Each structure stands twice: as structure tokens, then as C-alpha cells.
Structure 1
Amino acid sequence: MTPIIALFNQSGGVGKTTLTMNLGYHLAQMGRKVLLVDIDPQSSLTTFMGLESMELESTIYNAIVHQDKIPIIHDLHSMDLVPSNIKLSKAEMELSAAIMRELRLKQSLETIQEQYDYILIDCPPSLGILSIMSLVAATHVLIPIQTEFKALKGTELLLNTIVEVLNVANRKLKVAGIIPTMYDARTSQGEQSLQSIQTQLSKVGIVHTTIPRATDFANASQARKPLAVFNPKHPTLKLLKEISKTLDSLK
């Protein structure tokens, strides 16, 4: 079965979208066929991949709300993409009375799942229906956590949500690991937060290589390119490749 990996954290600004694009890129460079799914109404992943979201006639909104054929844009930086735009923000209200609405994304992905080696879902920074849909559709969840004290405070709620989905809606969901992000070794808060992540969350899943804070991530996103394309010599690429190789063992 194709691994479907949801990058999930209810907090914003932890690097979900950046990791989705960059880990997907490195998996693609390993010869894997990769599909990225943007299920965030902010559509940052769609933008980072070089598209103008509001110019798109069909997005993930059409697939999960109207149950249309899932729209796929091919060959963007060696990956395929199911795009999003702000219309997706209406989905929760429009699906409020829909029977088994939590299954809508899973059902859409099942129609194309066998075409890919990996599917990565960029979840919104919330605990709403779109995130629940993503966790129900996923085989694995990958959790980016910013190495700051405030980011750790919401971890219990995040894990409780995952456990609830595991117990009720998706008993096969596995934790693909935790990725500490935006690490700054120059600050005591960064070091203390990293130690807390490694100590407290290693019981939940593997704690992957720590991704340091780097301005080139934002620069690459603004240029609408993966970091490896924007700056092929960036030292963080070694870390991203290491995590991608670990994810590749999920198959």
C-alpha cells in the first residue's frame, strides 16, 4: 500500500508546508513517484509550487465537497500536486450535514493512490474537519514541532487528537515521527525545547534529525522552488535527505 503521510500540527508556523515540499522533492530525487496534496485553505503549498491558486478552476475543494475527479497538476519540480485555494475554507460549513464527511479525502485519494509511491498531505494549522479528513486518509502522520517553549504547550492536544482518530476513525494510522524545526543553537530556549522534544516525544515515535532555522527556506519558498533547487549547496539539504531516506523505509 502506498504510504500516505499527513504532516500535521494544529499550530501554524512550524514548517509543515516547507517540509512537505522539500521532503517530497528529495523522495522524488530518489526515483519515487510523489504526489503532494494541499488541504490548507491558505494554499501556501500551491503557491510555493509555483501556481496562482485563485486562477485554478479545480482544486481539492471540488474533490471533497462536490466529489469530482481529484485534480492533479503534473511535473512540478519532479512532483505532482493536488492544489488548493481559499474556496476550501467553505468546506467545513458545506459538509456540515454530509454523511461520513471524514472519509471524503480518503475516498478521493483511493482512486489514484496506486499511481504513486508516496502521497504527502500538507494539513492546515487547525483541529478542524480538514485535518481530521487528512488523518483519516493517512497511513502515517509526521509531526513537525518548532523548538520553542510555546510550541510544546500544544503538544498534548495534538497527540490527543491523533489518539482519538486512531481509536475511532483510523486504527491503522502510524506515527512516522517527530521533526524538531526552526532550531537555533544560540538560544537556551531552543536547546531546552529540543531536549524536551527528544525526552518526552521519543515514546510516541522516532525523533528525526533537527532542522535548523534558515532564512533560505523562506527565500526558496518566495522563489517558488525547493531548497535544493534554490541553493544546491545549502548544508540543511543533508538533513532533509536523511529524513527522506528514513521515510522511504515506510514502504
Structure 2
Amino acid sequence: MSKTLIIALFNQSGGVAKTTLTQNLGYHLALKKRRVLLVDMDPQASLTTFMGFEPDELDQTIQQAIVDNKPLPIHPELIHGLALVPADINLAACEMQLASAIAREYRLKNALVTVQEKYDFILIDCPPSLGLLSIISLTAATHILVPIQCQFKSFKGTELLLSTVAQVRGHTNPRLQIAGFVPTMFDSRTAQESRTVKAVQEQLSDIATVYPPIPKTIAFADASERRVPLTLFDKNHPAVSVLKKIANSLDKLELLP
């Protein structure tokens, strides 16, 4: 059995720093000499862009693997030590194209089986929805990592997210584990955000690990604009130490026996 950890970063809400986490945690795992593959499953293709590509200029993306059962189009060269399966807007049509496909939920899982022995970690950047692309991603994953923006509305949406995880466990992936919750975009000067972090810690720590909050900072956007992980933009930024802690914890995850 493969020992590859396949971690889906998922929240049905948008704007929670999911893509930023995918890139940066992947980078810190690569710094630990882990073999890491990033998979962009979001039609917005932000991860693909963050990694230095123009999605509309790509000939092959994850869409062909999901819809046409073609081999995963892994970019031939490592980027910041990371392998990448890119996406583009055509991925948005997958739900319609797979409407009548048999075992459609297993398309990504089956595609990853052919390559996962080459990697220690596969990180999947899921779309911000509860649609088929997210179900496909969670079906392929061994673990789910949940970014939660430090806002009351985002925190309240966690109940629906956990319901989705329960449904996936019940139908397509009974071995799916929750790797933890990551409070993101945290401004310690804001009373509501401090209350939200406290609520996340109190109410979700019995379900899975609640990691230290990722501080709100324009540095992530600046790093993304330059298409590099935060550490390569500003190695002394306070958020770097938090990312390292989370990556160290992910490195200790285990598969169910």
C-alpha cells in the first residue's frame, strides 16, 4: 500500500487563503526533502498562476485527466522544489461533461494511483464549492486540511463542511481523515477575530488539531504577485514560522492502518 499522504485543502467558502496555504505548505515540506506534488483542482487556477504559469496558455491541464482519462499532466520541471499539475478555466465544465460518467467521483483518485508512489505528499487545492470537483478531490484524499478565515461567517460555515466530509466518508472515501483546521487571515487587533479563533479552538479541537492562526498580511499577496512562496519573498516574515509549524505537523501525519 502506498504511504503517500494526499491532503485536500478544502473550504466551500472562497477567500480563505486556501491556495496560499497549498503553495506555502508544499514549499516547506519540500524544504524538508519531501517529494511534493501540487494538484490544482480549482477552475480559477490561482495555484497555477501563483506557480508562474498563464493558465490560458497551457495545452494540458488536470481537465484532460479528469474528463478524458489521460495521464496526469505533471509539469516536467520542479518549481521551487515542487511538482505541479496545473488547471485552467475549462475545468469548470467538468461537472457537465461528467454528468453521466460511471464512477465519476473516482476520476482523480484513479489518476493519482499511477503516480503517487513517486511522492511523499500530494496537496490538492480544491475549489470553493460543494460541487463535484470538491467531491472528486475529497474522494482522492487521505486527509483534509481546513482553512477557516477568522470571521464569524466563515466559522459558522464549518458545520456544512463537516457534513460534506461525513457524506464523503459514507459514500466514496470511508478512510478520509481530518488533518486539522487552520485559522487564516488573523488580525490580533480585532476583537471579533480573536473571539473567532478562540471559538475555533474550543469547538473544533475535539475533532482534529487546530493549528496556530496565519496572520493577515499583504506580504502573501506581494509574494503571489512575484509568483514565489512567502519564504522566498521575505524569509523573516512572522508568518513563516507559523507555516513551518504546520508543515512539521503535517509531516507527522499517518495513514489509517
TM-score by length of 1: 0.99
| Residue 91 of structure 1: aligned partner | 94
Show CA shifts across 1:101-145 (max 9, x none): 000000000000000010000000000000000000000000000
CA distance in 2, matches of 1:11, 1:52: 24
| Residue 49 of structure 1: aligned partner | 51
TM-score by length of 2: 0.97
CA distance in 2, matches of 1:11, 1:147: 12
| Residue 15 of structure 1: aligned partner | 17
Show CA shifts across 1:34-71 (max 9, x none): 00000000000000000111111000000000111100
* RMSD, aligned α-carbons: 0.7
CA distance in 1, matches of 2:148, 2:205: 13
| Residue 6 of structure 2: aligned partner | 4
Counterparts of residues 64-75 of structure 1 (less than 5 Å):
64-73=66-75, 74-75=77-78
Whether 1:243 aligns to 2:246 is yes
Unaligned runs of 5+ in 1: none
Show CA shifts across 1:125-167 (max 9, x none): 0000000000000000000000111111211111100011112
What is the percent sequence identity of the aligned residues? 56
CA distance in 2, matches of 1:70, 1:60: 6
| Residue 65 of structure 2: aligned partner | 63
| Residue 187 of structure 1: aligned partner | 190
Match of 2:79 among 56, 76, 79: 76
Whether 1:110 aligns to 2:124 is no
Unaligned runs of 5+ in 2: none
Match of 2:138 among 135, 147, 164: 135
Q: Secondary structure at the match of 2:169?
A: helix
Match of 1:27 among 7, 29, 35: 29
CA distance in 1, matches of 2:204, 2:217: 24
